[in-house]
Amino acid sequence: ARAARRAWTLVVAAKAEADRRRFKEALSLLEAALRREPGSPKALAWTGEVLRRSGKPEEARRAFDAALAAEPGNAWALAARAEAKRALGLTRDGLEDFKAAVRLNPRCEAYADFVGGRPPRAEHAFLLAWRGEGRRAAGDARGARADLDLALALDRFQPWALLSRAVARGDAGDHAGRLADFAALDAAAPGLLSSAAQGGGAL
């Protein structure tokens, strides 16, 4: 138990370093956490997130795979792995991870942990897409649009946000907006729209 507490303290410190863009220092802390608690799903998941933010999506995906093998119900690791897969051009597989994250935790409780009281950055757009889709599915059209619009202001090529906002616009009767988002999605992630449709629905 003491080793697990110490490992978590190191993970928290690593998160703070990652927020400062000090990725090398963050990874060193996470390596120390894994030495204290080998196989820690939280340390593995944050290793994946730091690698993702530092532009190493393949290494990030492997770390997320390990984290999810240890803790399959980790919704934010699924959503972050979706982003790593997107960076690798595996957007269809990424969409499945994103949908699984929304099903597991539609309120996106990870948002507060990632962003806190600070303004969100481009790296947080996937969290806004996740929370926005959860709100859309729950019938909160206004909250969904606010989240999805902000996600796309931060990252105009965010495919999960484009797909969700297209559905939200269609639900609201804004068919021109729906078509515009679908066109943007097809440009950002060719083939994703047809794949989603073949899966029996957009999201």
* 62: CATH: 1.25.40.10
SS3 assignment, position 44? helix
Greatest CA separation for the chain: 58
Average pLDDT over residues 59-68: 98
User: What is the pTM (predicted TM-score) of this model?
Assistant: 0.93
Distance, in Å, from the CA atom of 143 to the CA atom of 136, rounded to the nearest integer, reads: 8
User: Is there a single domain that holds both residue 203 and residue 104?
Assistant: yes
Distance, in Å, from the CA atom of 35 to the CA atom of 26, rounded to the nearest integer, reads: 14
Average pLDDT over residues 135-158: 97
Q: Determine contact, residues 82/90, Cβ cutoff 8 Å.
A: no
Task: Give domain status of residue 87, yes or no.
Answer: no
Q: What is the pLDDT of residue 2?
A: 80
Task: Give domain status of residue 39, yes or no.
Answer: yes
Q: Tell me which residue range forms the domain holding 137.
A: 96-203
Distance, in Å, from the CA atom of 158 to the CA atom of 95, rounded to the nearest integer, reads: 11
Q: 177-196: per-residue pLDDT in tens? A: 999 999 999 999 998 888 77
Q: What is the pLDDT of residue 199?
A: 56
User: Is there a single domain that holds both residue 196 and residue 121?
Assistant: yes
Task: Give domain status of residue 111, yes or no.
Answer: yes
- Confidence check: pLDDT of 201 > 80: no
Average pLDDT over residues 47-51: 98
Count the domains in the chain.
Answer: 2
Q: Determine contact, residues 28/36, Cβ cutoff 8 Å.
A: no
